[in-house]
Amino acid sequence: MKVVINKCYGGFGLSARAVARIAEIEGRPCYFFRRDMGADLYAPQIPTTIEEIEEDAKTSRIGMWSAYDIPDISVLPSQRNWHEKSMDERRASNEAWNKHSHESRYDRDKRHYAPLIQAIEELGEKANGGFAELKIVNVPDGVEYHIDEYDGIESIHEVHRSWA
């Protein structure tokens, strides 16, 4: 089984190009947005393109970007006054945002996801996020594994029994 890990300081992350490719493999549309780093945390996100995100990375203007499967995220629940909302309102808001969001960071238990592997194989270094050096590791089928991390550098280990 193929599993993706990060092999440099910084941490696992995908480029906008990789996120777009995974969305394409999944058959979902992909629209990019960025947040003005100097703006209010709740300021609207600005539509952007892969090219603009890549240009920001080249000029060291690290910005926060997100990808969704809808072109107008203003239809999603507002994040303003988050702490004043009830738990039910917060859950509903999270569900609405998560339903439309594309992943740029995959949990360690999802690193064998076939579209993720395919996008990294196709894009090579262009799949790396701003602080990542992604590598595909072959883990024997049937082996239960976990991903260990130190300062962003990851390694894969077979799960063994242990007692305290």
Domain boundary among 70, 101, 132: 101
- Strands 64-68, 46-48: pairing kind: unpaired
Mean pLDDT of 82-106: 92
Mean pLDDT of 117-122: 98
- Rg of the chain over all Cα atoms, to the nearest angstrom: 18
State the chain's mean pLDDT as an integer: 90
114 and 161 co-located in one domain? yes
112 and 161 co-located in one domain? yes
pLDDT confidence of residue 33: 93
pLDDT band at 152 (very low <50, low <70, confident <90, very high): very high
Give the pLDDT confidence of 68-84 residue by residue, as tens digits.
999 999 999 988 888 89
118 and 81 co-located in one domain? no
38 and 95 co-located in one domain? yes
**pTM score of the predicted model:** 0.89
Q: Is the pLDDT of residue 139 over 70?
A: yes
| Joined tokens for residue 78 | 């507002």
pLDDT band at 62 (very low <50, low <70, confident <90, very high): low
- Please give the residue that has the higher pLDDT: either 145 or 56: 145
96 and 120 co-located in one domain? no
Q: Is the pLDDT of residue 162 over 70?
A: yes
Q: How many domains does the chain have?
A: 2
With both helix axes pointing from N to C terminus, report the angle between 16-26 and 50-58 in degrees, rounded to the nearest 10.
150
61 and 112 co-located in one domain? no
Instruction: Compute the distance between CA of residue 137 and CA of residue 11 in angstroms, rounded to an integer.
Output: 16
Question: For residue 72, what are the domain limits?
Answer: 33-101
Place of tokens 């579209």: 115
